[in-house]
């Protein structure tokens, strides 16, 4: 109601809404998947996560144990079989030649040699085989190309005298002279076969084998697998029980924190019960934050209650969320009746103009110092309304606020001060005008009195010229005074600022030999202004700058855009400067630091810039030069434009 004063309402800005639209358009990813797959309850998530984190290492460890167990079993079997082979190699002594020494036919009769060697070696292989049931051992002669023994003889004696197949791995062992282990179906069947070359006098004369059925090895491997599986399942079961108990306790403590937070939402004075460990530290931090928030809220409420300005805040739906006592007095309604109500329906709909608060809420555009006049029963209140958007910690719009300031007394005092200043200025102006006119009049009166008693025509010609000069001085002073007092409204047209400054600098160069440096920003926009008036103002500034330089120096003129709506022109010189106690008077009429100055130049510049709704500032230091800064709007107010 009171903070109305915005006559043009714009539609809401694009992008001023919430971020829900952006979130719904995000592509499917891990976040979406986690929301769909993971349970909602924290305890269930904790149990699932902990179970995965515990079970996964146990399963991996079980797999590793199974693999290592199988490898160890195979390595143990291999070591055992090679040990048996080495024992048989040692029992062979110096070789087959020594055993055949007592056979008359020796190597000549192959069959007799096989039978003789079998008779000597079979007891040894049978003894070794009997020591480890399931193991088969034997000798093979390379020269005879026949199996000599295969223990236990009762089971495999029928193989004696037979030759192994051409592709049998035993032949590779005899050729390479290196031990080897093979899995597969051999003479005995599917076995793990360890083969050891028989070396005598640097030659391989045969090989020894020791094998075991793979079925037995597989049964032992299955035993290892069952043991590892039992250990793994037991570990998972124990881990599940521990996780259940720990998550139950942790969930209970978290439920305590959640319940405490719910109570804090309604009453910050109810702290959460203390806990131990890290959760206890969290509870302490939350309680401390709640107390700090309570203190801040109390401080904010005290400030809003104490300040003399009215403060009204609304949420994104336009409902009133804050209404301080000063606002109660201005709106003449208690806060208890309006908090939570629609601001538009309570106040704005009853006004003939739009509301600054609601305009800011709708468009996001702030308003500063909108002046209002509110009629009261016995007086008229003058208020200024300043509105802005409210944002949360994530910079999302959550509402708007307006601050109402009663400036009735301030404006009344300002009127009195301005009236007194005008009277004082009028007195100074009158004294200056009297001084400017009195001096020529005194000279004129003196010369007229002198000429009244003088009959010499030469004297009349001589002093009449002086009298005419003094009259011209009077006429010039009065002309400038009339021009200053009757400044015409500006004739607005489009102006190229750079070209205007270049023309003025060209005219000013005739006033002296000082260099003028022009510095323009690129792509300066045209401005709407009175070209002749602005040229007169800039020429006065340039002439003053040139006259302020006594020795070598320069004048720099810059033009640049400032913000979206203004152009700034600076005239900078490195001349003698102005004393600090004179800086505040440079724009006063008839004040001048130059002996021959009238004091109307800068006053006229100020009037011209003010007529263009611009701002002029003057900064000077003795011995360091002067800077005059002009800020002019790019677009002239509508009321100033003419055909």
Tell me, yes or no, whether 118 and 235 share the same domain: yes
Tell me, yes or no, whether 324 and 341 share the same domain: yes
Percent of the chain at pLDDT above 70? Answer: 70
**What angle, rounded to 10 degrees, do the helices at 214-266 and 42-91 form?**
160
Is residue 265 situated within a structural domain?
A: no
Tell me, yes or no, whether 249 and 145 share the same domain: yes
Is residue 216 situated within a structural domain?
A: yes
Tell me, yes or no, whether 473 and 499 share the same domain: no
Half-sphere exposure of 618 (CA within 13 A, CB side): 19
pTM for the predicted model, two decimal places = 0.36
For residue 178, what are the domain limits?
38-256
Tell me, yes or no, whether 472 and 337 share the same domain: no
Tell me, yes or no, whether 438 and 334 share the same domain: no
Across 49-58, 281-290, 506-515, 594-603, which has the greatest mean pLDDT?
281-290
Is residue 262 situated within a structural domain?
A: no
Domain boundary among 485, 510, 526: 485
Tell me, yes or no, whether 500 and 557 share the same domain: yes
Task: Report whether pLDDT(432) > 70.
Answer: no
Q: Measuring CA to CA, which residue among 220, 216, 183, 221 is closest to residue 67?
A: 221
* Chain segment 114-158, per-residue pLDDT in tens: 999 999 999 999 999 898 888 999 999 999 999 999 999 988 889
Tell me, yes or no, whether 449 and 536 share the same domain: no
Domain count, the chain: 4
Tell me, yes or no, whether 235 and 89 share the same domain: yes
Q: Measuring CA to CA, which residue among 491, 633, 624, 513 is closest to residue 568?
A: 633
* Chain segment 146-181, per-residue pLDDT in tens: 999 999 998 888 999 999 989 889 999 999 999 999
Is residue 20 situated within a structural domain?
A: no
Is residue 269 situated within a structural domain?
A: no
- CA–CA distance, 319 with 339 (Å, rounded to integer): 8
Confidence of residue 24 (pLDDT cuts 50, 70, 90): very low
DSSP state of 38: S
Q: Measuring CA to CA, which residue among 320, 350, 351, 349 is closest to residue 337?
A: 320
């Amino acid at each position: 109601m009171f903070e109305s004063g915005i006559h043009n309402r714009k539609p809401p800005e694009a992008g001023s809404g919430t971020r829900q639209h952006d979130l719904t358009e995000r592509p499917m990813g891990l976040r979406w998947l986690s929301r769909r797959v993971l349970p909602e309850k924290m305890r269930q998530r904790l149990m699932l996560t902990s179970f995965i984190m515990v079970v996964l290492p146990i399963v991996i460890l079980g797999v590793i144990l199974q693999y290592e167990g199988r490898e160890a079993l195979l390595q143990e079997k291999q070591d055992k079989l090679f040990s048996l082979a080495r024992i048989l190699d040692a029992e062979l002594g110096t070789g087959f030649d020594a055993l055949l020494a007592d056979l008359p036919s020796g190597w000549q009769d192959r069959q007799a040699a096989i039978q003789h060697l079998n008779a000597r070696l079979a007891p040894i292989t049978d003894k070794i085989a009997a020591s480890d049931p399931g193991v088969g051992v034997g000798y093979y002669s390379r020269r005879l190309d026949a199996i000599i023994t295969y223990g236990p003889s009762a089971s495999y004696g029928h193989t004696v005298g037979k030759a192994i197949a051409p592709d049998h791995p035993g032949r590779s062992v005899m050729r390479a002279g290196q031990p080897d282990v093979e899995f597969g179906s051999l003479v005995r069947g599917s076995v793990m076969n360890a083969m050891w070359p028989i070396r005598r006098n640097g030659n391989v004369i045969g090989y020894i084998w020791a094998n075991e059925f793979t079925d037995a090895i597989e049964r032992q491997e299955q035993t290892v697998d069952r043991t590892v599986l039992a250990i793994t399942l037991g570990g998972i079961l124990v881990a599940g029980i521990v996780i259940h108990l720990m998550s139950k306790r942790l969930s209970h403590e978290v439920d305590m924190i959640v319940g405490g937070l719910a109570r804090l939402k309604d009453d910050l004075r109810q702290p959460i019960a203390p806990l131990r460990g890290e959760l206890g530290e969290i509870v302490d931090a939350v309680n401390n934050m709640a107390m700090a928030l309570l203190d801040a809220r109390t401080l904010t409420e005290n400030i809003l209650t104490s300040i003399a300005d009215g403060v009204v805040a609304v949420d994104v739906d336009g409902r009133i969320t804050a209404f301080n006592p000063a606002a109660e007095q201005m709106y003449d309604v208690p806060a208890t009746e309006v908090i939570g109500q629609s601001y538009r329906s309570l106040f704005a709909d009853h006004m003939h103009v739009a509301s600054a608060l609601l305009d800011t809420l709708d468009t996001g555009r702030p308003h500063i110092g909108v002046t209002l006049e509110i009629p009261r029963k016995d007086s008229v209140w003058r208020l200024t309304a300043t509105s802005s958007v409210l944002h949360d910690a994530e910079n999302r719009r959550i509402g708007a606020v307006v601050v109402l300031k009663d400036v009735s007394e301030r404006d009344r005092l300002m009127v009195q001060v301005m009236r007194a200043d005008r009277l004082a200025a009028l007195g100074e102006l009158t004294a200056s005008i009297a001084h400017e006119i009195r001096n020529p009049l005194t000279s004129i009166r003196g010369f007229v009195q002198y000429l009244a008693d003088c009959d010499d025509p030469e004297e009349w010609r001589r002093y009449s010229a002086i009298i005419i000069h003094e009259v011209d001085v009077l006429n010039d002073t009065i002309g400038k005074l009339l021009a200053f007092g009757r400044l015409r409204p500006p004739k607005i047209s489009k102006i190229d600022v750079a070209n205007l400054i270049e023309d003025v600098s060209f005219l000013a160069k005739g006033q002296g030999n000082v260099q003028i440096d022009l510095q323009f920003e690129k792509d300066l926009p045209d401005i709407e202004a009175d070209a002749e008036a602005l040229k007169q103002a800039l020429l006065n500034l340039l002439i003053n700058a040139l006259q302020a330089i006594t020795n070598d120096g320069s004048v720099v003129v810059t033009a640049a855009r400032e913000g979206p709506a203004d152009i700034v022109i600076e005239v900078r010189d490195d001349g003698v400067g102005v004393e600090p106690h004179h800086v505040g008077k440079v724009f006063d009429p008839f004040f001048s630091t130059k002996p021959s100055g009238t004091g109307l130049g800068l006053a006229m510049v100020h009037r011209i810039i003010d007529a263009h709704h611009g701002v002029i500032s003057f900064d000077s230091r003795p011995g360091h030069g002067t800077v005059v800064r002009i800020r002019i709007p790019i677009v002239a107010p509508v009321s100033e434009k003419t055909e």
